[in-house]
Amino acid sequence: MSDVLHDPRWRTAWRLLFLSVVVGASWLAFSPHPPRAADLGWDKANHFAAFGTLAFVGLQCLAASPRRRWIVLAALLAYGILIEVVQAQIPGRDAEARDVLADMIGASIGVAVHALILRVTAPRATPAR
pTM over 0.85: yes
What is the identity of the amino acid at 92?
A: G
Residue 119, Cβ density class (10 Å: 0-12 exposed, 13-18 middle, ≥19 buried): exposed
Query: No. of H helices and E strands in the chain?
Result: 5, 0
Neighbours of 75 (CB within 10 A): 14
Per-residue pLDDT of the chain (129 residues; tens, 9 = 90+): 778 887 888 999 999 999 999 999 999 999 988 888 888 889 899 999 999 999 999 999 999 898 999 999 999 999 999 999 999 999 989 999 999 999 999 999 999 999 999 999 987 766 666
Q: Where are the domains of the chain?
A: 2-121
Longest dimension (CA), the chain: 68
Q: Tell me: the pLDDT tens digits for 51-63?
A: 999 999 999 999 9
Cα atoms in the Cβ-side hemisphere of radius 13 Å centred on 2: 6
